[in-house]
Chain A
């Protein structure tokens, strides 16, 4: 091969380059999505309508986008927190389910007086999620079980547990549908007058601000930065690596659990089968697109929530299946991550000269 592709690592990365590759990746990703949608029968002229006008332009679309953004922000914050110490949390769906189940248990067994019910549900949801993520973290720290696989498989376990309860003890006896009875008013997060959007917005904003403070100004944030950079060196410096891993995982699980609470108390007003649907990959995509930065996550969550609103209208008008949105997210994450290669490496193509033949003296032969 006469040409060789050489990647040389960059030591200093100019800011404009980081921004340019991010924008380039997003634009190229959207372009891939557009080609993909056109290939599956969506007319090219309608794409602009679907993506811009419907998502942000009218109040119904905006309402749906913002409501969806609440749970997406929370679960993605959970992944981002873990990503900051290089712990892959692929189990937000399971943690969300456990949070929802714990909060529902508080409601069904009527724990506490009515005015304390909602705070208790919130605490229960956080504990439920934290336990589920903490389990995987303990397995990683104590038993060296890879957290990518354990957190992912715990999704299935939590989902099946929820199914068991919904078809068993918690089933609504009145109509036999696999849902719990509707929560009383004092267990529901209030809506903004006439909108679906509910006070869960404040939960999401508080979490974002807390995480921003935690990552930027707290001692814990500084130590976890060290853990992310080099686990061995951190251990040698006396940083409690295992404790930081466990704390971060429990915190992240609690945030996912809050997402479960926000969905059952603010959107569904009861536990249904569709509480923890399709959160695994979006949360990873958002956390990565937001560069695991709390403010970045908030922005990316809003954008991806818009993608879901667009996806819903695509489903309705062009009979495309549910998985079309995940496919588009995969396109976006793939191109943004691939474009990152320009940030990390200087790419050059070297031309290799054909090697000059070397004269090898043979023994016994006169030159």
Chain B
């Protein structure tokens, strides 16, 4: 298990974690009925803020925190447009996408292409006795561990607590939730902000663990893939783990193929995650499963004064 396959399996968690974090964050949004297409821009801001913190000599915890703060800033703007002003959610998301990608490019310009110290493993020596691939698989940094724990916490809150029930009711039928005394706007803003924190973590993971450097445009469509993975995992954070591992595996095989010395068409290989996403999106749209899982009031602004 040590050659190619072992390297591949060992690399999957690091590539899967940003997908998992982003998908989990977006599921929190969408269960409350808010479709956030700005994920790509929010993740860019998280990634660049974490790198700027590292290069300014702040520690790793501060870098992660700053990544989240930057992401929450973008998310607040999104909440203002989509939830408070009731703009069309697709348009609000696209604006945040462009704003985040653009602004991260501007503020990160003087910090670009400078390597940073990586976020290291939590237990460097705990897996010494195991086979190399297994040690490689289990020995991860704190953000990656957190990425794989968070879906369980979110699932439990969603399905087993009153808070989760209220949140889901806002996403399924906002007028009914409103009539039952749930503050729809507060619920949606809260869900968007919490989702934003998680998207910030996803961005920070990309730059602190994945690339260990900031390059303009480095999120390169991962935010959009995460939006598609929400549909693929049918708005369930536990299924999101499987979806993220699948896409992590696709992404992890690319650098291995490129460094294997085999003669492979580099650019065609890089298409894989995008083509896989389209395939998965088409496949998950076909069945009746999707219709039953999609929150009924997804992307529909709620205004008490408006007749539905």
Contact at A164–B87, with CB atoms within 8 Å? no
A156-B228 in contact given A164-B267, A320-B106 (Cβ < 8 Å)? no
Residue A40, interface by CB 8 Å: yes
Contact at A326–B102, with CB atoms within 8 Å? yes
Residue B224, interface by CB 8 Å: yes
Residue B19, interface by CB 8 Å: no
Taking the nearest CB of chain A, how far is it from the CB of B304, in angstroms?
Answer: 9
Contact at B98–A337, with CB atoms within 8 Å? no
A40-B106 in contact given A150-B281, A321-B216 (Cβ < 8 Å)? yes
**Interface set, chain A 288-345, CB cutoff 8 A to B:** 288, 320-331, 333-334, 337-338, 340-341, 344-345
What is the interface of chain B mostly: helix, strand, loop, or mixed?
helix
Question: How long is the Cα–Cα vector from A164 to B266 in the complex, in angstroms?
Answer: 8
A56 to chain B: which residues have CB within 8 Å? none
Residue A35, interface by CB 8 Å: no
A160-B268 in contact given A139-B278, A324-B102, A327-B103 (Cβ < 8 Å)? yes
Residue B227, interface by CB 8 Å: yes
B278 to chain A: which residues have CB within 8 Å? 139, 145, 149-150, 153-154
Contact at A9–B306, with CB atoms within 8 Å? yes
Taking the nearest CB of chain B, how far is it from the CB of A148, in angstroms?
Answer: 6
Residue B105, interface by CB 8 Å: yes
B267 to chain A: which residues have CB within 8 Å? 160-161, 163-164, 167
**Interface set, chain B 96-133, CB cutoff 8 A to A:** 97-99, 101-106, 109
Stretch from B62-70, B156-164, B195-203, B269-277 forming part of the interface with A: B269-277
Contact at B106–A321, with CB atoms within 8 Å? yes
Nearest CB in chain A to that of B221: its residue = A156
Residue A143, interface by CB 8 Å: yes
Nearest CB in chain B to that of A338: its residue = B85
For the A-B complex, the count of residue pairs with Cβ-Cβ distances under 8 Å equals 142
Contact-size category for A:
35 or more
A163 to chain B: which residues have CB within 8 Å? 267
A284-B281 in contact given A161-B267, A164-B268, A323-B105 (Cβ < 8 Å)? no
A334 to chain B: which residues have CB within 8 Å? 77, 81, 95, 99
Contact at B91–A148, with CB atoms within 8 Å? no
Contact at A323–B101, with CB atoms within 8 Å? yes
Residue A189, interface by CB 8 Å: no
Contact at A340–B105, with CB atoms within 8 Å? no
Residue A157, interface by CB 8 Å: yes
Contact at B101–A88, with CB atoms within 8 Å? no
Contact at A149–B228, with CB atoms within 8 Å? yes
Question: How long is the Cα–Cα vector from A59 to B266 in the complex, in angstroms?
Answer: 43
Question: Of B86, B91, B266, which contacts A288 at CB under 8 A?
Answer: B91
A281-B86 in contact given A153-B221, A167-B267 (Cβ < 8 Å)? no
Residue A249, interface by CB 8 Å: no
Contact at A149–B224, with CB atoms within 8 Å? yes
Contact at A164–B265, with CB atoms within 8 Å? yes
Residue A90, interface by CB 8 Å: yes
Nearest CB in chain B to that of A285: its residue = B98
Taking the nearest CB of chain B, how far is it from the CB of A288, in angstroms?
Answer: 7
A144-B221 in contact given A163-B267, A337-B81 (Cβ < 8 Å)? no
Q: Told that A143-B285, A330-B99 touch, could you supply 11 new A-B pairs with CB distance under 8 A?
A: A40-B106, A139-B281, A148-B37, A149-B228, A153-B224, A153-B277, A160-B270, A167-B267, A321-B216, A323-B105, A327-B106
Contact surface of A with B, Cβ cutoff 8 Å: 6-9, 40, 88, 90, 139, 143-146, 148-150, 152-154, 156-157, 160-161, 163-164, 167-168, 281, 284-285, 288, 320-331, 333-334, 337-338, 340-341, 344-345
Nearest 10 CB-CB pairs, A to B? A323-B105, A327-B102, A144-B285, A326-B102, A330-B99, A164-B267, A281-B98, A321-B109, A143-B282, A330-B98
